[in-house]
Amino acid sequence: MFTGIVERLGNIKAITQENSNYHFRISSGIENELYIDQSIAHNGVCLTIVEINDDSYIVTAIKETMIKTNLGTLTVGDEVNLERAAISGQTRMDGHIVQGHVDSTTSCTKITDENGSWYFTFQLNDENRSLVVNKGSVCINGVSLTVVDPTKDEFSVAIIPYTYEHTNFKNIRVGDKVNLEFDIIGKYVQRYLENTQTK
């Protein structure tokens, strides 16, 4: 489980394909604190460490993950948001409950500079509309954020300077694809309502 509070940025050093799998070599600066089999969220995607070196580590993404997330758009030199799993009972829940299981991707439609902060607007499709509520939580590229002014087709999030500088939001441009994970409680409520309506 994660909280959506990004610890640091990782830099992609290499991407290699082996059959239908993709191996990402990433430099994080915390390699000496990591271990094999550890789960780390990369742009909100939970991946398992399979190898560690002095200056980098490797995670593997299967075909399904590459299709359903924005990992397939990454290239060598890109930055990814990193978060290690929460430690039970030893950390504050500063964000919200994040599983690292990306629900879908979407595109950035607008970026508004508010003279010290930024509003990023993203496309919203019919399937996910009921999961986005004003002042509710959403995870974008692994960052826990609050929804602002959702409409039928779009929603926005406000990004403060600290978040802008310490995540890859500073690299997002209009048209770029991002990973979305919706609030787990909202997903359970949606599923419950779907089941009761079909009975």
Query: Which stretches within 58-101 are classed as H helix?
Result: 63-68
Question: Region 140-151: what's the mean pLDDT?
Answer: 94
What CA–CA distance (Å, rounded) separates 196 from 186? 15
Task: Judge whether 109 and 120 are in contact, CB under 8 Å.
Answer: no
Q: From its phi and psi, is residue 177 left (phi > 0), alpha (psi between -120 and 50) or beta? A: beta
Q: What is the pLDDT of residues 90-136, one digit of tens each?
A: 666 677 888 899 999 999 999 999 998 999 999 998 888 888 889 99
Among 158, 4, 157, 166, CA closest to 94: 4
**Four-point Cα dihedral 113, 120, 78, 66, nearest 10:** -170
Q: What is the pLDDT of residues 27-68, one digit of tens each?
A: 999 999 999 999 999 999 999 999 999 899 999 999 999 999
Burial of residue 123 (number of CB atoms within 10 Å: 0-12, 13-18, 19+) = middle
Per domain, the residue ranges of the chain are 8-84, 104-197
Among the listed ranges 31-35, 68-72, 170-174, 181-185, which one has the minimum average pLDDT value? 181-185
Across all residues in the chain, what is the average pLDDT?
A: 91
For the 104-197 domain, the top CATH level (class) is mainly beta
DSSP one-letter code for 1: -
- In the predicted model, is pLDDT for residue 183 greater than 90? no
Sequence letter at residue 7: E
Query: Which stretches within 105-183 are classed as H helix?
Result: 161-166
For the domain made up of 8-84, give the CATH fold. Answer: Elongation Factor Tu (Ef-tu); domain 3 (2.40.30)
What CA–CA distance (Å, rounded) separates 9 from 194? 38
DSSP one-letter code for 71: G
Instruction: Provide the pLDDT for residue 91.
Output: 63
Is the whole model's pTM more than 0.85, yes or no? yes
Instruction: Provide the pLDDT for residue 129.
Output: 85
* DSSP bridge partners of 105: 179
Asked if the domains at 8-84 and 104-197 fall in one CATH topology, the answer is yes
Among 1, 99, 15, 19, CA closest to 58: 15
Instruction: Provide the pLDDT for residue 87.
Output: 81
Instruction: Provide the pLDDT for residue 181.
Output: 93
